[in-house]
Amino acid sequence: MADLRDMLSGDRIRVMDGAMGTMLYSRGVFLNVCYDELNATHPDLVEDVHEQYIRAGAEIIETNTFGANPWKLSSHGLDDRTEELNARAAAIAVKAASGRAAVAGAIGPLGIRLEPLGPTSLQEARDYFGRQVDGLLEGGVAGFVLETFSSLVELEQAFRAVRSRCDLPVITQVTVGEDLLTEYGTSAQQVARSAAEWGADAVGLNCSVGPAVIVEGLEQMVEVTRLPLSCVPNAGLPRQVGERKIYVTEPGYMGQYARKAIHAGARIVGGCCGTTPEHIRSIREVVSMIQQRRSSVRVIRALDEITERKSSIPLSLRSSLANRLVTGEFVRCARVLPPRGWDTARLLQDCRALAEAGADVIGIHEDRRTARLSVLATATLIAKGCPAEPIAHYTCRDRTLFDMISDLLGAAASGVRNILLLTGEPHGGAPYPAYRSVVDVDSIGLTNVVTALNRGVDPAGNDIGDPTGFVVGVALRQGARDPESELGRFHWKVDAGAHYAITQPVFDVEHLLGFLAGIGDGGPGIPVLAAIQPLGSLRHADFLKNEVPGVLLPDRVVERMRQAEARGPEHAAAEGIAIARETAAALAGEVAGLEIAAHRPPGVRAAVGVLEGLGSPR
C-alpha cells in the first residue's frame, strides 16, 4: 500500500477520491440504510466504488466509515459492532488499493454537542472516536482523515484519540459556511493554527457550500501555516428535483476550481458530497498539468491576546438585580406573560402595579406553545416603561446555537441585562403531528456561551468587542424525579457561570429546604429565589399536582383548595392567595428572594397581595 506520510512530505500535489455516499446512493442504496453497515452486507459494492475512484486518478482513498462511530451507529442498533465495521471498511479499501493508493481512515463528527455546550464529556468523545480508530488500525489504514468537523473542540478529541493509539499521519478538515466560519464561529485561520499546535500532518476544508468558498478559506489558511493544505469541496449546492437533491456542478467546473485551489496553496485536492469519478478525473487532469506555488506565512495575533486585554464588567455593576444578589439584599420578583398581540399598554400597566406593590424585578415568562410577543422585546419595553428591572426567561428548545447567540447579542445591544436560561420542556406538535422538539444546546451549554460573551468572545473565541454584562439565572428543579441527576446538572450550571437560580413553584417549604441542604457542604453556591404560584382554583391545584412534572403539591394544600372551592370560586381564589402568602412568609428568611407568578388566575391581583404581605416596598 502507498505510504501516506511520504505523500504528505513531498512537494507533489496529491489527488483524493470523491463522495462514497453519492455513489452508493446512485446504486440504489436508500438513505434510511446505514451506509457503514454495507461494509459487512455489501463489501463488493463498496470495493467497486473505491476501484472507480482509483481508476479516475485518486492517490488517496477514504474508507467508508464517515459515520461509523458508536454514537451514530447506535441509532441503527450497531454500536456494539463499531470496531468490526471499521475494520471491514479498512480491509475493503486496502484490497481495492492494491498498492496503487494510500488508504486513509475516514472519521466524521459524532453528531452530538460536547461540553461545555452539551452533556458529553471530552473523555467520552475521545473514547467514542477511539473505538473507531481501533477498528481502522486493525483493518490496515495508512493514516486518517478527520473531516467535516464544525467544532474545534470535537476535532481535537478525534485527533487525540488517534494520537493516543498510533503515530500515523492525520489530515484534519473542517466545514465552513459562506462567511468562512464553522457552525461554531471558528475561522479557517484558527483551525489552521490549532491543527499545527496539535501536531497534525495536514489541514484543510471539505464539504461546505462548494469550491468557491473553500478556495477563499484556503487563501486565509495559507497565511498562517506551513502545513500541507487540503481542498475537498462539494459539487456546489444541491438543487431540489422532485423529491431528490441533485448536485449539478459539472466535472469541468471542479477541475477549474482545483486549479484555483492549487494556486491558492492546496497540496491535496479531491471531492466531497455530489462528486463522482468523473469529477475526480477532471481534477486529476488539472493536477498533472500544473505545479503548486509556494506561499509565505504571515503571523496573525492570537485571540488569546484579545481576551487577556479585556476585563468583565463587575457583577454588582451590571444591574440592580445583580447588586442585590451581591449585597445579599432580599429580591422581590413578579413574573408576567407577554401579550398575544403587540399592544403592551395593559402589560406595562400591570408591571407598574407590581412595582408599586414591591417588585424589584419583573420576570417575563416564555410560553412557546402559543404565539406571543418575544420575551426579549418585552424585556426591552419593560425596561423603558417600568421602574422595576426585567428578567427575560429564555428557552433553548427549538433554537439553534447561532439563533441564540444572535438573540442574546441583540438583547445586550437593547440594554437587557438579566436573563434566566432554561432548556425548555417538550411540547406537543399539534396541529402538526410530525413535529419534534429539538434541543441544540441546553441551558448548561448556553450558560457557558453567555459566560464567554461576558468575557468579550463568542464560543469559538472570536472577538465580539466589549464584553456583555449579562446576569445569568438558571432553573433549580427541586421536585425532579431523579434528585441526584438534577443536583448534578445544577452543579454544572454553577460551574458554567450562573449567578442565581429560581426554583419551581414551591408548595412544600420543608421539602425545598431539605433539597437545598442536600446540595453539599458549600450549599447552592449561588443565591436561590423561590418561585411562588398563587392557586386560582381547585382545578388549577389538580393540574399542577398531576400534570406538571416536578411540582410537589401536598395533599393538604389540595384539600384546603377543595374546601374553599365548596364555598365558591371567590373563596378558592382567596385561599390560593392565603397559601401563597404563608409560603412566602415561611421562605422569606431562608432564600435570597421570591418570584411570584402574576400570569395565571388570580393573576396580578394575587401577586400584588403576596408582595404586599412581605412588608413595605424597597
CATH code at 290?
Answer: 3.20.20.330
Q: What is the pLDDT of residue 244?
A: 44
Using the predicted structure, report yes or no on whether residue 265 has a pLDDT greater than 60.
yes
Q: Do 283 and 403 belong together in one domain?
A: no
Which residues does residue 62 pair with via DSSP β-bridges, in sequence order? 104
Q: What is the pLDDT of residue 37?
A: 94
Cell 374546601, residue? 563
pLDDT in tens, 429-478: 444 444 455 678 889 999 999 999 999 988 877 889 999 999 999 999 99
Q: Share the mean pLDDT of the chain.
A: 88
**Higher-pLDDT residue of 427, 96:** 96
Residue 217 CA: distances (Å) to CA of 323, 516, 598: 45, 51, 52
Residues in CB range of 192: below 8 A, 6 or more apart: 203, 220, 221, 224, 225, 227, 229
Single residue among 254, 273, 300 that ends a domain in this structure: 300
Q: What is the pLDDT of residue 213?
A: 87
Pick from 41-55, 159-173, 358-372: least confident:
358-372
Q: What is the pLDDT of residue 401?
A: 87
Q: Do 295 and 317 belong together in one domain?
A: no
Please give the model's pTM, rounded to 2 decimal places.
Answer: 0.71
Q: Is residue 618 part of a domain?
A: no
Q: In a 10 Å sphere around its CB, with 0-12 CB exposed, 13-18 middle and 19+ buried, how is residue 31 labelled? A: exposed
Q: Is residue 192 part of a domain?
A: yes
Where residue 426 falls among pLDDT bands split at 50, 70, 90? low
Question: What is the pLDDT averaged over residues 408-432?
Answer: 80
Q: What is the pLDDT of residue 241?
A: 38
Q: In the chain, pLDDT over 70 holds for what percent of residues? A: 91
pLDDT in tens, 132-186: 999 999 999 999 999 999 999 999 999 999 999 999 999 999 999 888 999 888 9
Q: Do 464 and 353 belong together in one domain?
A: yes
**Higher-pLDDT residue of 44, 256:** 44
Q: Is residue 238 part of a domain?
A: yes
**Quick one: cell of 514?**
431539605
Q: Do 13 and 69 belong together in one domain?
A: yes
Torsion of CA 604, 610, 615, 618, to 10 degrees: -40
Single residue among 272, 300, 328 that ends a domain in this structure: 300
Where residue 262 falls among pLDDT bands split at 50, 70, 90? very high
CATH code at 343?
Answer: 3.20.20.220
Q: Do 252 and 316 belong together in one domain?
A: no
Listed in order, strand segments (DSSP E) in 218-263 are 229-233, 239-241, 244-246
pLDDT in tens, 311-326: 789 999 999 999 999 9
Q: Which letter does DSSP use for residue 426 in this model?
A: -
Q: Do 290 and 326 belong together in one domain?
A: no
Q: Is residue 461 part of a domain?
A: yes
Using the predicted structure, report yes or no on whether residue 34 has a pLDDT greater than 50.
yes
Q: Do 372 and 455 belong together in one domain?
A: yes
Q: Do 317 and 293 belong together in one domain?
A: no
Where residue 230 falls among pLDDT bands split at 50, 70, 90? very high
Pick from 8-12, 66-70, 592-596: least confident:
8-12
Print the domain residue range for 524.
311-427+434-613
Q: What is the pLDDT of residue 237?
A: 56
Using the predicted structure, report yes or no on whether residue 561 has a pLDDT greater than 70.
yes
Q: Do 12 and 106 belong together in one domain?
A: yes
Single residue among 271, 300, 329 that ends a domain in this structure: 300
Q: Do 293 and 315 belong together in one domain?
A: no
- In 310-367, which residue ranges form alpha helices assigned H by DSSP? 320-327, 345-357
Provide the number of structural domains found in the chain.
Answer: 2
Q: Do 269 and 338 belong together in one domain?
A: no
Q: Is residue 391 part of a domain?
A: yes
Which residues does residue 389 pair with via DSSP β-bridges, in sequence order? 361
Using the predicted structure, report yes or no on whether residue 269 has a pLDDT greater than 80.
yes
Q: Do 69 and 199 belong together in one domain?
A: yes
pLDDT in tens, 570-588: 999 999 999 999 999 999 8
Where residue 521 falls among pLDDT bands split at 50, 70, 90? low
Q: Is residue 306 part of a domain?
A: no
Q: Is residue 305 part of a domain?
A: no
Q: Is residue 87 part of a domain?
A: yes
